[in-house]
Structures are given as structure tokens and as C-alpha cells.
Chain A
Amino acid sequence: MQDAIIELKGVSKFFDDACALADINLSIKNGEFLTLLGPSGCGKTTILRILSGFEKPSSGEVRIAGICMNGVPPEKRKVNTVFQNYALFPHMTVAQNVGFGLKMQGLPKDEISRRVAEVLRIVHLESFASRRPAQLSGGQQQRVAIARAVVNNPLVLLLDEPFSALDFKLRKEMQLEIKHLQRKLGITFVFVTHDQEEAFAMSDRVVVMDQGHIAQIGTPEQIYEEPENLFVARFVGEINILEAQICEVRESGQYGAIIDGALFPLRSRHTFAQGDKVMVLLRPEDLKIGAPDETDGPCLAGVIEESVYKGATVDIFIRLAGGQRLMAAEFFNEDDAEINYNPGEKVSVAWVDGWEVVLPDDPGHTDARHGRD
């Protein structure tokens, strides 16, 4: 089989004049679990509907298994979808729902019932075969929807926010279950969500989308630890942004920069010139808080504003001398008095050398565009 099961080449989509997708280039590997992640309205569903054939791209080409799919209707594509609302047929039993695709393929009855029984066993619903969807719980309906799609052995399975109707606990369970199912079946999954934790927990690769563009493609680790732009950095978790100015260009991506009056060594894959303004991005859990006199390396001086108990962690808010507010997250440890900070206490803030992400300055970064909705 070819390495890329799906290829999107320069795909754009306009609804009337509104651009929903702009020049999307994406190649999905055979057997991978790929997640489209992004805020509401960024075009995730539109990509899925273009893959399943319910929408035509305004321009560009879609290839599935090497064959151009432009103009091929949904029923002729070896792609199946798990719909957001499940879209189970209310007038059919679970077994009839699951067997629908096979029946449309014209398979003999005994083969249909054999394969339906097999897939119902995989999703632990064998005893529910003769029930109707109305007689199932949300989680069970969800699994019927998945069984109904995978029973057809599609080349690609598309899942559009399949857990949005489930409660938190069931959601967690289903995430693991789907991930295991995908490993077991070896089918390529294209999964849509706007929940970054869900995306990270399940995927081999994540595509972060922003207003019809791809903001970054990478493994969950890459996305979280090496965001390529501010949008991604902000969307996939809390982040602190410090303004800095390059004052020294050292060898191979090493720089010296002034942050809040102190000189810090920085590492970046971007190239900067002396005097450039840059942004230093730091995850709350990467910040180290210490006593003000601890002086092993450069640090920022600040005052504790507030600490918020979160169970496993404590969120600590610090006001820097320069006026900026930082958030640090520390693991909570009852025996360790060290992180028992009181508001007003003076502290120093530092981080593990090299864990910072340095991006060119983006004048818009102080906008209230926090990507968490």
C-alpha cells in the first residue's frame, strides 16, 4: 500500500464568498491516527466533509489511496464517517444499523450477520444486537456508530467530535477505547476535536488549524513543546509570554537576550539579528520559583500575587518587576514547605536552560485572543 492514504493538495473551500479552507496541503499516512484540532469554525468539519465527499473543494485535489476523488460521490468512496450526533437509523435494530453498509454492498446475508456479530463483539455490544438505538445509552450509541463504520473495512475512518455528547468520565474511557480499537484494526483514523487534551491523548499526529489555515502539523510533543507560532502555543495550553531583545548572537542558534533587565541565554531554531525584538514562551510547569537570593544563573525578580490550589498542582501567579504577570504550575507536595508562598513574598523566577521557545515578535500577541473556547 502507498505510504500516504490521503493527500490534500492545495484544497480551498469557499461558501459563497466566505473562505472556510485556504490552500490546505496535508498528507495522511496509512494507519496513522491523525487529529484535526482547532477552535470552533476553523474548518475541521469542512475538511472531513470534503474527504467523505459531501462537500466539493472549490479548488485543489483530494486523493485517497492514490486516486483522485474529485467528483466521486460519498457512496462510492471507501471512507466511512462517525457522525457527531451518531446519526443512527432509529427504525433499525443495532444489528441492522451495523449491517447497513454491508447490505448496500450486496453481501450475502450469512456473511453480513457473521461480520456484524464479530464487530459487535469488538465494541462489547453483542448482547444489544436486537435493541433499537433509542434503547441504548449515549456511550452505547456511540459504539454502535463506530461499529457501523468500521464493519465496512474503510480505508479511512472519519470521526467528527464523536465524544461531544458524552460526560467527562465516559469521554476518557471512550478515548482509550477508540485508540486501542484503532491500533487493533490498523485503519487510518482522522479525528476532529477542539479539545487539545483529547487530541494529545489519542493521536500520532495533530494538525492545528486556525481560520481555514493549517497552523502546525506535528506529534503531540512537537505541538506542545515546540509550537511554531503564537496561535499554536496559546491554543494547546497555558503559556507565559515574555518580551525580550536580542543583544548577542552566539554560534548555531544561541543568543543572549535581555528580559526584564537581565541577560538570559536563549536557544532558537529561528535566526535573529542583534537588536531584534523576540517573544520568549514558557509553559507554567517549566518555570522554577526560588528564593530571591538563589543565584545559580540568571533569573527574574518578582512578587507572589496569588496561589491557587488545583489538587495535584498549585498555580502560582507572580508579578514581575517590569509589571508583567506570570503563571507557574508546581506539583503540590504537603511535606514540602518550599512552595508554600504567601502573597507579597519576593521570589526569583528561572527555567531549565533550553526549554524556552523563542519566536519573532508578533505585535498582536497582547490581544485577548486566548485560543481556549
Chain B
Amino acid sequence: MIRAIRMRVMGGTSRFFRIAIALSSLWLVLFALAPNALLLLVAFFTRSDEHFVTPVLTLDNYIRLFDPTFLTILWDSARLACIATVICLLIGYPFAYIMANVRPNRRPFLLFLVIIPFWTSSLIRTYALILILKSKGLISELLTMLGITSGPVSFMYSDFAVFIGLTYTMLPFMILPLYASIEKLDRRLLDAAKDLGASSWRAFVHVTVPLTMPGIIAGAMLVFLPALSMFYVPEMLGGAKSMLLGNFIKNQFLVARDWPLGAAASSVMTIALILMVLVYSRVSRRGVRNREGGRGSGGALRSEGGMR
């Protein structure tokens, strides 16, 4: 789509597109690039009690990040976000696969199911989760009723609750890019794989997975990064004991009033994000090239392989 837009802009025919691009670029520079650049800058400044920061350059903030407590937080967050991503992938892939393979007239309904959660704030939905997970909550009552447990059980304030919260909140972001790439997959390639002796499973592993890799990576990024920085879900469901990167950054800004340290921690995340986007763009560019080739176009190379 971006390419289509660019082509039209370069064609110079549409003023609307130029204005639209200019406006959205301005918007992004003002509200996305500028704050991030400021953040990067602040990370090199010194903390000050009156004005939050004084413009005295230092590397001290980054050095403070090597503190074992922060490293533990970083590791815990990465681990948690990683596991949440894998869970989302394991649940999201089959769902997206089914969604892409059901009769087209049923797809809007499934898509609708994915999108419903966006109608309420995720903060409120997290509160709703508490009602389900808490002692004498929905699950607890259900288990008691079925006689599986004798008394009320709480699932709150555990890693388990955090996983449930993260997975629940992030799942749509995994499903949508997966659906987009599975839907684009040429089913005839699966027929070809089976024709060549591949079982359904091996056709999936050797054909479906590699060709939907851009979707998998996009989904993983869309889940992993927010999961890393999402502070309210671990705070509400995991309780005080799970201090994660998101909570850490939030605390530096709002509680400890140590902006430079918060900025340094957050720039670590920004750098991780940029690295992942780079990886993604490389993988998806390869995917696009491959897919375009499958259509049997071209003739420029024909003479080279001519018949003798």
C-alpha cells in the first residue's frame, strides 16, 4: 500500500496525497520523533530536584542500568514478554489459520470476535480479569461448583495471572498480522507439497510457516514490545512482586522522579525496537520478492536458459 501511495505521489497527479503525507509526517515528527529524540537526550543529562533534569552531560544513567536489580528486571521482563509472545503465537496461529480458511462469509464474524475487545479500554478489561481470577471469582466459583477444589482459590498475583492478562490483551495484535499473511498464502503451494509426498504437517512446516514468517514476526513484535513495557497489567495482576521494565520506567518518571534513569531505560527499549524492525523489514522484503516471483512473470532471462 505504501508503495502504491508513493507511486501516486511521484506521479505528481494527486495533491490530496501530497497534503495527506505532509500532514501525517508532521504529526509523526512532532509527536513521535521529537519525544523520542528528547528522551534519548535526557538519558545523557543529570537528575535535578527542581527541574527534573539539568543539561549536564553524563553517561552515569546508562552505567546505573548495569545495576543487578535493573538487570534482573530487564531479564524478568524479557522472559515474561517472550513467554507471553509464544503463548499468543500458539493460540493466535491456529485461530488466524482457521479464520483464513473458513468460508468467506463466516470471516467477518471471527474478525468481529478479534476486534470486540478494542471497544473497551484495556485497563477496564484488566479489572474485569481480576473479577474472573480472584479468590471467589468466576473461575474459583466454577471449580468449587464442579467439586474440583474444596474452597475458594485465587489465581491473582502470580506469573500465571500476568500471562493471562498479557495474552488476553495482546492476542488481537498477534492474530491480525498472522491472518493477513496466511490469507495471502497460495493454497496451490500446499497442494504441490502434498503431491510431492508431504504430509499435512510437513507441508505446514516446510511451506506454510516459512511463507507466513513475515506475519509471525510482525505479530511477535507487536506483542513482545508492548508486553515488555506494559506496566498496568503486571502491576494489577502480578502484584508488587513482579517489577518489570514498564513499571520500572513508570516509577522513575512518576515516583522516583529520576527522569534521566527512566529515559535511559526506555531508550534501551527503543533500541531493541529498532533492531527488531530492521530484522522484520529484511525478512518481509524477502517474502515479498518470493511471492511476486511465484506468478511466473518475466521473460528478460529467457534467452539465457534457452533450449539446445
The answer to whether the Cβ of B199 comes within 8 Å of any Cβ in the partner chain is yes
The answer to whether the Cβ of A91 comes within 8 Å of any Cβ in the partner chain is yes
Q: Are A152 and B298 in contact (CB under 8 A)?
A: no
Chain A residues with Cβ under 8 A from B304's Cβ?
137
Q: Are A139 and B197 in contact (CB under 8 A)?
A: no
Chain B residues with Cβ under 8 A from A186's Cβ?
none
Q: Are A137 and B192 in contact (CB under 8 A)?
A: no
| Residues 220-234 of B contacting A (Cβ, < 8 Å) | none
Q: Are A89 and B207 in contact (CB under 8 A)?
A: yes
The answer to whether the Cβ of A86 comes within 8 Å of any Cβ in the partner chain is yes
The answer to whether the Cβ of B4 comes within 8 Å of any Cβ in the partner chain is no
The 3 closest A-B pairs by CB, nearest first: A134-B293, A90-B290, A137-B302
Bound complex: CA of A137 vs CA of B202, how far in Å? 29
Chain A residues with Cβ under 8 A from B296's Cβ?
85-86, 138, 141, 165
Q: Are A132 and B290 in contact (CB under 8 A)?
A: yes
Q: Are A137 and B211 in contact (CB under 8 A)?
A: no
0/1 interface trace, chain A 339-364, chain B, CB 8 Å (1 if under): 00000000000000000000000000
Chain A residues with Cβ under 8 A from B206's Cβ?
89, 100
Chain A contact patch, size range: 35 or more
The answer, among B192, B197, B199, for a CB contact under 8 Å with A83, is B192
Q: Are B298 and A138 in contact (CB under 8 A)?
A: yes
0/1 interface trace, chain A 123-158, chain B, CB 8 Å (1 if under): 011011000111111111101000011001000000
Q: Are B307 and A173 in contact (CB under 8 A)?
A: yes
Q: Are A104 and B197 in contact (CB under 8 A)?
A: yes
Distance in Å: Cβ of A85 to nearest Cβ of chain B: 6
Bound complex: CA of A165 vs CA of B302, how far in Å? 14
B residues contacting A by CB (< 8 A) are 186, 188-189, 191-199, 202, 206-207, 210-211, 286-287, 289-302, 304-305, 307-308
Q: Are A135 and B293 in contact (CB under 8 A)?
A: yes
The answer, among A85, A134, A139, for a CB contact under 8 Å with B305, is A139
Chain A residues with Cβ under 8 A from B305's Cβ?
124-125, 127-128, 136-137, 139-140, 143
The answer to whether the Cβ of A52 comes within 8 Å of any Cβ in the partner chain is yes
Q: Are B292 and A134 in contact (CB under 8 A)?
A: yes
- Report the stretch among A27-35, A72-80, A229-237, A289-297 that lies at the interface: A72-80
Distance in Å: Cβ of A130 to nearest Cβ of chain B: 14
The answer, among B191, B196, B197, for a CB contact under 8 Å with A54, is B191
Bound complex: CA of A141 vs CA of B294, how far in Å? 9
Chain A residues with Cβ under 8 A from B188's Cβ?
83, 85, 87
Chain A residues with Cβ under 8 A from B292's Cβ?
134
Chain B residues with Cβ under 8 A from A89's Cβ?
189, 192-193, 206-207
Q: Are A88 and B195 in contact (CB under 8 A)?
A: no
0/1 interface trace, chain A 85-126, chain B, CB 8 Å (1 if under): 111111100000000110011000000000000000000110
The answer to whether the Cβ of A221 comes within 8 Å of any Cβ in the partner chain is no
Chain A residues with Cβ under 8 A from B211's Cβ?
90-91
A residues contacting B by CB (< 8 A) are 52, 54, 73-76, 79-81, 83, 85-91, 100-101, 104-105, 124-125, 127-128, 132-141, 143, 148-149, 152, 165, 170, 173, 177
By beta carbon, the residue of chain A nearest B213 is A91
By beta carbon, the residue of chain B nearest A74 is B194
Distance in Å: Cβ of A287 to nearest Cβ of chain B: 38
The answer, among B193, B287, B297, B308, for a CB contact under 8 Å with A138, is B297
Q: Are B302 and A139 in contact (CB under 8 A)?
A: yes
Bound complex: CA of A277 vs CA of B210, how far in Å? 66
Distance in Å: Cβ of B244 to nearest Cβ of chain A: 36
Bound complex: CA of A317 vs CA of B196, how far in Å? 52
Chain B residues with Cβ under 8 A from A101's Cβ?
196-197
Chain B residues with Cβ under 8 A from A87's Cβ?
186, 188-189, 191-192, 294
The answer, among A81, A124, A128, A132, for a CB contact under 8 Å with B293, is A132
Distance in Å: Cβ of A204 to nearest Cβ of chain B: 23
By beta carbon, the residue of chain B nearest A78 is B197
Chain B residues with Cβ under 8 A from A100's Cβ?
193, 196, 198, 206
Assess A83 versus B299: contact at CB under 8 Å? Given A75-B198, A134-B289: no
Q: Are A104 and B198 in contact (CB under 8 A)?
A: yes
Q: Are B307 and A124 in contact (CB under 8 A)?
A: yes
Chain A residues with Cβ under 8 A from B290's Cβ?
90-91, 132-134
Chain A residues with Cβ under 8 A from B196's Cβ?
75, 80, 100-101, 104, 148-149, 152
Bound complex: CA of A149 vs CA of B290, how far in Å? 21
Distance in Å: Cβ of B236 to nearest Cβ of chain A: 42
Chain A residues with Cβ under 8 A from B291's Cβ?
90
CB<8 Å pairs between A and B, sample of 28: A54-B191, A54-B195, A74-B191, A75-B196, A75-B198, A80-B195, A87-B188, A87-B189, A87-B192, A89-B193, A91-B210, A91-B211, A101-B197, A127-B305, A132-B290, A132-B293, A133-B290, A134-B290, A134-B294, A136-B293, A136-B301, A136-B305, A137-B304, A137-B305, A138-B296, A140-B305, A149-B196, A165-B296
